[in-house]
Each structure stands twice: as C-alpha cells, then as structure tokens.
Structure 1
Amino acid sequence: MKRTITLFLSLIMLLSLTMTSYAEEYVVESMQGYGQTEILAHIYSRYTITIPATINLSETNQGTIAISGASLEEGYQVKVFCTNINSDCNGIILYNVNDNSKTIPCAILDENGLYMNSSTPLATFTQDDITSYDTIRNFQLELMSFDAVAGDYMGIAEYSFDCSPM
C-alpha cells in the first residue's frame, strides 16, 4: 500500500511539473500600431569669466571683467561680486609687504564710478549684452590715502559669480 501511495504521489508531482513547462506565448499577429516618445532636454547657461590675476596701480587704476563663450538661458543674468570688500572703505585693504601693520584702503568703483560693497554686483551681464566676442565691464581702483608709509603694498580681491533669473 505504501508503494502504491508513493507511486501515485510521485506521478501527481511529475504531471504537475510538466504541465507548467508547456505554456505557450500569447502572440498577436494581426495588430498594427504606432507610438510616440516625448524627449526632453535642458541646456544650462554656460560662460567663462576672466578677471586679471594682478593689477599694478603704478601702471593703471582700471580692471576688467570679461565674459566669453556665453550662452545664457532666457531671462537669466550673470553677476560678478567682489566678496571681501571692507565696508569702511568700500574696497579692500592693501598691506605693506614689509610691515603688515601699515595699510592703505583701496576703493573699488564699478564702471559707472559708484563705490562698491559686497552685496552690489561689480559687473552684470545679460544675454542682450553678450556679443560674438568677449563682453567687457570695467572697474576702477582708487587709493584712499596718500600719506601712507612709502613702500610696496599688496591686497587680495576675492570674487564670486552668480547666474540667476533677472
């Protein structure tokens, strides 16, 4: 009896396994159709900002900020800020290279002659400003003290750039 039950159960198990292996694919041959895929892309603004690494006030008091290779999104502008402007002199502090206790304030003025602060952009560029060549904005540097100790002075101006909606 055990043998018969074992054989019967084995046969049921074997039949159940083979039944699932004979499933057929569902194929539709008579239908035709079409479809669409919407493809989206976004090209972000791109630009190169060029600012001179050194400005020697013995030679010139003018600096330039140039934007080149620019493609701005509609309604966007690029702003350039001088981030370390001292609020007492609207510019940066120049230090005597031999004695850091000796300083001269050096004001930074935008191309309209307005004194700068760290929240006012030194230069602003819009898509309308940009030509096929470099677009240049000028700024001025002005020593605020002429009774300083004679010698060489140096200071660092730090910049940040921002591309944002107008």
Structure 2
Amino acid sequence: MKKLLSFTLALVMMLSVSVTAFAATINQDSNPKTVDTEITTSIAPTYTVTIPADVNVSFNATSTSFGKIEVTAAQINPDKCIKVALTTDGTLNNTVDATKVIPYTVNAGATAFTSATYLAAGEKTDLTINITQNDWNSAYAGDYTDTVTFNVSYIDR
C-alpha cells in the first residue's frame, strides 16, 4: 500500500510541474516555409496637467502673470484630446462688502481664455489677469478675492 501511494504521489508531482508550451508550427511540405506571429501591447491613456497656483495681483497692475496651463505628460488615444476649461464670474469681491467688486479677465494673449484643447506633452497656454486702469481707479480700499475653477477632461476630438 505504501508503494502504491508513493508511486501515485510521485506521478502527481511530475505531472504538476509540466508546462505546456505553445508555438507556431511549420509544415515541412509547405512552400515557402514561413509563419506569421503577432505581438501586441496595450497602453492605458494617462496625462498630467499643471494649472496656475494662487496669485496676488498688485494694486494698479493692469496685467499680472497668472502662470500657465501645461500638459507635462501625455499618452492619449489618437481620437482624443485633453480639454481644460476655466470658469469664473470675473469679479474680485471685497471681503468686507460683497457689493464692492473689481472686474477682471483671464487672458491667453490678447483674448479672454475660456478653454483650450491639448494633444501632447509640452503644449501650454500662458495666462494673465487683466484689470483696466479705470476699474482700479473706481475700486474701494480693502482686500479682494475670487476663485477660478479649472475643469480638466479627456474628450473626443
């Protein structure tokens, strides 16, 4: 009984370490003797977008650098793009009296920035905050603040 059990266990161990190998075969009677094999891989879409940090606008500055939106890394599908949209009400609000405001725009070059699309790493948009001299002249003293929201999305082109 011990011999039968030992033989059975040895056979099970030998069968458990065998590995099945798959390979293309060439028939020796075929001409030409070639086989095509396919190599595949898959890369998941990934991207990194840098957006401007908090900024302090100096009094009477009609144009202040707001930094840049930059795609620092991107592996995206050929039919997709990265969209960055900016949302703001365009007013700096006095922290004591919300009825006192200073209007401003966020610009990319000479035009107001609302959104842009990007396809590759290294693409960027430089932004500025612009306040007219007339708006500075009519502003009340005090601290002003506003929040700008950036929405980043991965969309079809």
The two structures have a TM-score, normalised by structure 1, of: 0.58
CA distance in 2, matches of 1:62, 1:148: 21
Paired position in structure 1 for 2:91: 93
1:114 to 111, 115, 118: 111
Tell me, which stretches of 5 or more residues in structure 1 are unaligned? 1-33, 87-91
Which residue identity is paired with 2:104?
C
Matched, 1:155 2:155: no
CA contact (8 A) 2:49 2:73 kept: no
CA distance in 2, matches of 1:44, 1:162: 16
Residue by residue, what CA displacement relative to the aligned partner does 1:45-91 show, whole Å, maximum 9, x if unpaired? 211112233111118712211221221221322111013x33xxxxx
Question: 1:136 Cα deviation (Å)?
Answer: 3.0
CA RMSD between the two structures: 2.9
CA distance in 2, matches of 1:56, 1:148: 16
Which residue identity is paired with 1:126?
L
**Comparing 70-79 with 59-68, which one deviates more in the overlay?**
59-68
The two structures have a TM-score, normalised by structure 2, of: 0.61
Paired position in structure 2 for 1:62: 65
CA distance in 2, matches of 1:109, 1:143: 11
Question: 1:164 Cα deviation (Å)?
Answer: 1.7
How many residues of Structure 1 are paired with residues of Structure 2 in the alignment? 118
CA contact (8 A) 1:113 1:140 kept: no
